[in-house]
Amino acid sequence: MKAMYQSNSKLKEVNLKESVLTFENGKIGFVYNEDMSFLMDLGKTVIKRLSNVNFNNKSHMWEVKFRGNVLAQHKTRSKAINWEINYFNNEIMKGRLKGVSSK
């Protein structure tokens, strides 16, 4: 599914298939993606960090952490972030992260 939106006086198109949206109590939730930033113009915006990607000085690896647990390790930060985005998009699609708190 594609959506059209206007940004800086230009009409843009975004492929919603690549971005996961959840609607709960009239709220829109998604793993942040620059292409989806237009949704932030629809109303009050609240940003919450779901997980963290940090460098581990002992292992020399980038770690994806959620609720204090290491979910994945990668040699590059970009690979860790890509893994994080894919993992949480899949979890949202499976209905596992509705109203989730990172604590």
In a domain, 102, yes or no: no
Q: Are residues 4 and 26 in the same domain?
A: yes
Show the domain range for 9: 1-43
Does 80 have pLDDT greater than 50? yes
User: Same domain, yes or no, for 80 and 64?
Assistant: yes
* Residues 54 and 39 occupy one common structural domain: no
Q: Which pLDDT band holds residue 101 (cuts at 50, 70, 90)?
A: very low
User: How many distinct structural domains can be found in the chain?
Assistant: 2
**Amino acid in the structure at residue 36:** M
Same domain, 60 and 33: no
Q: How far apart are CA 74 and CA 71, in angstroms?
A: 10
Higher-scoring residue by pLDDT: 4, 102? 4
Biggest distance spanned by C-alpha atoms of the chain = 49
Q: Which residue has the tokens 């989806």?
A: 36
Mean pLDDT of 4-11: 59
Q: Are residues 55 and 93 in the same domain?
A: yes
Listed range (8-22, 35-49, 81-95) with the worst mean pLDDT: 8-22
* pLDDT range class, residue 102, cuts 50, 70, 90: very low
Based on the fold, state whether residues 14 and 37 are members of the same structural domain. yes
